[in-house]
Amino acid sequence: MQVVYDPRHVLHDPVTEVQYGVPMPMYEVPARAESIRAALLADDSFSFADPVGHGLGPVTAVHHEGLVRFLGEAWGLWRARGGGGSMPPQFMPDTVLHPAMREGMGEAPEPSAAVGRIGYWCWETMTPLVAGSYQAARAAVDVALTAADLLLAGDAAVYGLARPPGHHCPRSAFGGYGLFNYSAAASAYLADRVGRVAVLDVDYHHGNGTQQIFYHRADVLYVSLHGDPDRAFPYFIGWAGERGAGPGEGFTLNLPLPAGCTNDRYLAALDTALERVAEHSAAALVVSLGLDTYGQDPIADFALSTDVYHEVGRRVAGLGLPTLVLQEGGYFVPKLGENARTWLRGLLGRPLDLRPTPG
Ligand code: SP5
Ligand code: ZN
């Protein structure tokens, strides 16, 4: 299996995120991708390829031009305010555009002040920007699109090893550790070229960004298994009753799951998801692969074990669709490489081959 990877992901390396007002070390760190890279390099089922630049066209196909412009300018604006000098070496909003603020008063104009602008384009407090964030996010999109090109060229399965993850980014905002929704960009890119596409999002968190981007479309099906938003981030979206709207009605399927979700419960929900994907008659499948469903993940609450990822990959392969796998979350770094390698081996039909955790 070809793996597309770009070392520029390390340029996005903020120090501190803020959860419920508490500053804490970032969970979404460069070591995540490096752990996966090391595990795949040690397995001759995988070979590495470099990304090719695709420009901004596929980004603005799924994101508001104002968001893309802001992210391109953000660090320069922060520097001009002293960011990285006397101000913290990262940039995050303190005031975000809550819909109730302007209820009944129409859309807010984008302000010109830097701190106002970041609150206009960002929806939470766990995705700080640093000097290299934009470059890393652009590289991640190119990884996803290059992997999509390899799929279009005939590979049965391709893996894009990218970060920061993008499935929490809707059309007009960033957040959830990511800047650009590269899974959505690749899905739209594939849909333009092959017709119907299915997105299977197995990250622990609901992919609110991807759901929003395709909510009104019937050609791109979005199916997600995730922690119930009643208790889990992103809290406001991912409910079972959200099924798509207009022409997209029936083309979103959410399967929220309980805390402590076991391997068996998960596989049963996966079968429901795969049945819906099979009905879509897609020409390609995009998997948003989050491994934060793992039992030891520090910010999630499922109970999956490494061996079940082999079975999940195997069942996904049973669809018989050309499959683009794009990395999203997963924060238990010591097992992340092994979990990704196991999942992908299942997809490839290679035997389960558990190895001791390095270090
Ligand atoms: C791609 C992805 O996985 N993004 C996840 C973003 C989640 N941000 C943190 C959510 C807050 C979780 N709080 C859990 C506290 C557990 N002790
Ligand atoms: Zn996640």
Q: Please write the tens of the pLDDT for every residue from 259-286.
A: 999 999 999 999 999 999 999 999 999 9
Distance between CA atoms of 37 and 3, rounded to whole angstroms?
A: 9
- How far, in Å, is the centroid of ligand 2 from the Cα of 269? 17
pLDDT for residue 356: 82
pLDDT at 359 over 60: no
Q: Which protein residue's CA is at the shortest distance from atom 2 of ligand 1?
A: 329
Q: Which of 12, 124, 177, 183 has the most ligand 1 atoms within 8 A of CB, as the residue to mutate?
A: 177
Does the beta carbon of 205 sit less than 6 angstroms from any atom of ligand 1?
yes
pLDDT for residue 81: 84
Residue 304 pairs in a beta bridge with 294
Q: Is residue 281 within 8 Å of 196, Cβ to Cβ?
A: yes
Q: Is residue 4 within 8 Å of 143, Cβ to Cβ?
A: yes
Strands (E) in 137-248, as ranges, are: 157-161, 197-201, 220-227
Residue 257 pairs in a beta bridge with 227
Q: Is residue 318 within 8 Å of 357, Cβ to Cβ?
A: no
Work out which ligand 1 atom sits closest to the CA atom of 331.
3
- How far, in Å, is the centroid of ligand 2 from the Cα of 233? 9
Work out which ligand 1 atom sits closest to the CA atom of 233.
10
pLDDT at 83 over 80: no
- How far, in Å, is the centroid of ligand 1 from the Cα of 161? 20
Distance between CA atoms of 314 and 312, rounded to whole angstroms?
A: 5
Does the beta carbon of 126 sit less than 6 angstroms from any atom of ligand 1?
yes
Per-residue pLDDT band at 86 (split at 50, 70, 90): low
Q: What is the pLDDT of residues 156-206, one digit of tens each?
A: 999 999 999 999 999 999 999 999 999 999 999 999 999 999 999 999 999
pLDDT for residue 181: 99
Q: Is residue 249 within 8 Å of 217, Cβ to Cβ?
A: no
For Cα atoms 160, 205, 275, give the angle at the middle one, nearest 5 degrees.
Answer: 75
Helix (H, G, I), strand (E, B) or coil at 343: helix
Does the beta carbon of 297 sit less than 6 angstroms from any atom of ligand 1?
no
Does the beta carbon of 215 sit less than 6 angstroms from any atom of ligand 1?
no
Closest CA to 290 of 232, 348, 331: 331
Q: What is the pLDDT of residues 29-49, one digit of tens each?
A: 999 999 999 999 999 999 999
Q: Stretch 119-127: mean pLDDT, rounded?
A: 98
Q: Is residue 182 within 8 Å of 141, Cβ to Cβ?
A: yes
Q: Which protein residue's CA is at the shortest distance from atom 7 of ligand 1?
A: 176
Please indicate, yes or no, whether the overall pTM of this predicted structure exceeds 0.85: yes
Distance between CA atoms of 86 and 38, rounded to whole angstroms?
A: 37
Q: Which protein residue's CA is at the shortest distance from atom 13 of ligand 1?
A: 299
Does the beta carbon of 203 sit less than 6 angstroms from any atom of ligand 1?
yes
Q: Which protein residue's CA is at the shortest distance from atom 10 of ligand 1?
A: 233
Strands (E) in 107-230, as ranges, are: 157-161, 197-201, 220-227
Residue whose tokens read 């206009």: 120
Q: Report DSSP letters for 57-92, one per residue.
A: HHHHTTS-HHHHHHHHHHHHHHHHTTBTTTB-SSB-
| Among the bound ligands, the one closest to the CA of 18 | 1
Helix (H, G, I), strand (E, B) or coil at 3: strand
Does the beta carbon of 322 sit less than 6 angstroms from any atom of ligand 1?
no
| Among the bound ligands, the one closest to the CA of 210 | 1
Q: Name every residue whose Cβ is closer than 8 Å to that of residue 78 and which is 6 or more positions away in sequence.
A: 84, 87, 91, 114, 129
Does the beta carbon of 329 sit less than 6 angstroms from any atom of ligand 1?
yes
What is the overall mean pLDDT for the chain?
97
Catalytic residues: 168
